[in-house]
């Protein structure tokens, strides 16, 4: 217990470095490398292989993970199972996948970039930032957009219900999986389903609906489609990305990074229209290495113009989600160390552990299988051996 508390305190120190205006995470990432001897590295890689296999699904659907720590001179990618269980195509570490709610990390980062540029502030009411038809849909549902601020939406404290978690929405998807949903149609479900609006600012209430509003704010403020705005303002062109893009009408799958099939029990969701989860709360397709590249750049202060933005993002709320939700990012306890990142409905995950300068990203393609976070934790436990070398 004392060791865990001590490690927790170390995590707090590293977190302070993350948001420091003087040193930031670069001071952590810039420490001399602790390269393992080849035999230990091979032992760790084999242990992670066993972890990935153990977290595979009996239906043959795939599992993949990317683990990278420049400080320990370590990088490995692992994949088991099939990209498509029907066609028996083996999954590859470079396959892409729908990231689902990991997109919130990118949506929140884009909003904070727009705040940096003076487009609006965190405390701006959203009514004047949203398209008129979206404002009307909110008001029809009994929601007052004049009282809600950008900060409320980012931190899930607007009291907005989550249309995506309503059983009627899921039934509508199963009935018409090819239907293309618009943002205003999804916001209008607040009224159609008579969803309850919780007291504003009083408690954490995770809401995809709220992040759809953020997506609409981005589009109206920039004059760009959401995917283009995210790519532009987060400067994707400066990052060594493989295949990170919004799955909108302009999206084209890459032969080099084919999209893996993701399963919900016996259901293959590959052909489901991406608009069921596209407009800010979800929608990005990426490889595991893409997710790792972005979150490392985020904590290396390569995304934001000022350290204040990362500090806002890391304003974690107690009693919210996992071990604390900030703005488009949350923290999870990995054996006494903070893992900072996000997960998605399709069992996707990306985390950064400042203490180890470590990224862990990937996906379990069976949504009803082992949780992606559990896979990440198990892989981290195998990796930790590297830090204990003499």
Q: CA 113 to CA 177: how far, in whole Å?
A: 34
Task: Decide if 310 contacts 17 (C-beta within 8 A).
Answer: no
Cα angle 378, 303, 17 (rounded to 5 degrees) comes to 60
Span 180-207, mean pLDDT?
95
Question: 151-182: per-residue pLDDT in tens?
Answer: 999 999 999 999 999 999 999 999 999 999 99
Task: Decide if 386 contacts 36 (C-beta within 8 A).
Answer: yes
Q: CA 112 to CA 115: how far, in whole Å?
A: 5
Span 72-90, mean pLDDT?
96
Mapped onto helix, strand or coil, the DSSP state of residue 68 is: strand
Average pLDDT in the chain: 91
Q: Is pLDDT at 258 greater than 80 in this prediction?
A: yes
Q: CA 152 to CA 386: how far, in whole Å?
A: 41
List Cα–Cα distances, 173 to 101, 230, 292, 387, in angstroms. 17, 26, 30, 46
Among 35-39, 311-315, 352-356, where is mean pLDDT lowest? 35-39
Task: Decide if 344 contacts 36 (C-beta within 8 A).
Answer: no
Q: Is pLDDT at 5 greater than 70 in this prediction?
A: no
Confidence (pLDDT) at 24: 37
Question: 342-381: per-residue pLDDT in tens?
Answer: 999 999 999 999 999 999 999 999 999 899 999 999 999 9
The domains found in the chain, sorted by start residue, are 2-99+242-388 (3.40.710.10), 105-232 (3.40.710.10)
Q: Is pLDDT at 262 greater than 80 in this prediction?
A: yes
Confidence (pLDDT) at 240: 93
Token code pair at residue 320? 């919210």
Q: Cβ neighbours of residue 50 under 8 Å, at least 6 residues apart? A: none
Confidence (pLDDT) at 18: 55
Q: Is pLDDT at 30 greater than 50 in this prediction?
A: no
Q: CA 119 to CA 278: how far, in whole Å?
A: 23
Among 89-103, 191-205, 222-236, where is mean pLDDT lowest? 191-205
Q: Cβ neighbours of residue 376 under 8 Å, at least 6 residues apart? A: 65, 334, 339, 349, 351, 360, 362
Confidence (pLDDT) at 319: 85
Q: Computed from CA positions of residues 290, 244, 270, 348, in that sequence, does the dihedral angle turn out positive or negative?
A: positive
Q: CA 390 to CA 388: how far, in whole Å?
A: 6
Span 92-117, mean pLDDT?
98
Q: Is pLDDT at 287 greater than 70 in this prediction?
A: yes
Q: Is pLDDT at 318 greater than 90 in this prediction?
A: no
**Does the model's pTM come out above 0.85?**
yes
As a whole number of angstroms, the longest Cα–Cα distance in the chain is: 64
Among 49, 59, 65, 95, which residue's Cα sits nearest to residue 368? 59
List Cα–Cα distances, 148 to 123, 213, 214, 222, 312, in angstroms. 9, 11, 12, 20, 18
**pLDDT band, very low/low/confident/very high, at 11 (cuts 50, 70, 90):** very low
Token code pair at residue 370? 């082992």
Task: Decide if 23 contacts 361 (C-beta within 8 A).
Answer: no
Confidence (pLDDT) at 32: 52
Mapped onto helix, strand or coil, the DSSP state of residue 143 is: coil
**pLDDT band, very low/low/confident/very high, at 102 (cuts 50, 70, 90):** very high
Q: CA 367 to CA 21: how far, in whole Å?
A: 40
Residue whose token pair is 């204040």: 308
Q: Is pLDDT at 4 greater than 90 in this prediction?
A: no
Q: Cβ neighbours of residue 46 under 8 Å, at least 6 residues apart? A: none
Q: Which helix (H) or strand (E) holds 64?
A: strand 63-69
């Amino acid at each position: 217990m004392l060791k865990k508390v001590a490690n927790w305190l170390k995590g707090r120190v590293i977190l302070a470095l993350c948001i420091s205006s003087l040193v930031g995470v670069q001071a952590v990432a810039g420490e001399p490398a602790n390269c393992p001897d080849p035999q230990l590295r091979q032992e760790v890689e084999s242990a992670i292989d066993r972890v990935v296999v153990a977290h595979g699904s009996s239906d043959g659907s795939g599992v993949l993970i990317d683990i990278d720590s420049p400080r320990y001179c370590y990088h490995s990618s692992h994949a088991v199972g099939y990209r498509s269980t029907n066609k028996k195509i083996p999954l590859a570490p470079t396959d892409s996948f729908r990231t689902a709610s990991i997109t919130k990390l990118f949506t929140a980062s884009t909003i904070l970039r727009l705040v940096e540029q003076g487009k609006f502030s965190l405390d701006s009411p959203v009514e004047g930032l949203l398209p008129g038809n979206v404002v009307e849909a909110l008001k029809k549902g009994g929601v007052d957009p004049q009282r809600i601020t950008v900060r409320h939406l980012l931190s899930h404290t607007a009291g907005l219900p989550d249309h995506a978690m309503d059983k009627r929405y899921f039934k509508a998807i199963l009935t018409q999986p090819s239907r293309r949903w618009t943002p205003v149609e999804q916001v209008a479900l607040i009224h159609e389903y008579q969803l309850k609006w919780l007291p504003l600012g009083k408690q954490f209430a995770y809401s995809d609906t709220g992040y759809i509003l953020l997506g609409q704010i981005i589009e109206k403020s920039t004059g760009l489609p959401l995917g283009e705005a995210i790519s532009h303002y987060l400067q994707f062109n400066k990052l060594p990305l493989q295949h990170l893009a919004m799955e909108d009408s302009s999206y084209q799958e890459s032969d080099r990074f084919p999209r893996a099939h993701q399963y919900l029990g016996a259901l293959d969701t590959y052909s489901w229209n991406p608009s069921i989860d596209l407009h800010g709360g979800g929608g990005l397709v990426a490889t595991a290495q893409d997710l790792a590249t972005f979150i490392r750049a985020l904590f290396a202060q390569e995304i934001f113009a000022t350290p204040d933005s990362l500090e806002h993002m890391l304003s974690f709320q107690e009693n919210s989600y996992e071990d604390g939700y900030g703005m488009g990012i949350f923290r999870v306890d990995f054996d006494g160390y903070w893992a900072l990142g996000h997960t998605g409905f399709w069992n996707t995950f990306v985390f950064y552990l400042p203490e180890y300068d470590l990224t862990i990203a990937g996906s379990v393609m069976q949504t009803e299988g082992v949780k992606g976070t559990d896979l990440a934790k198990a892989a981290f436990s195998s990796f930790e051996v590297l830090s204990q070398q003499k």
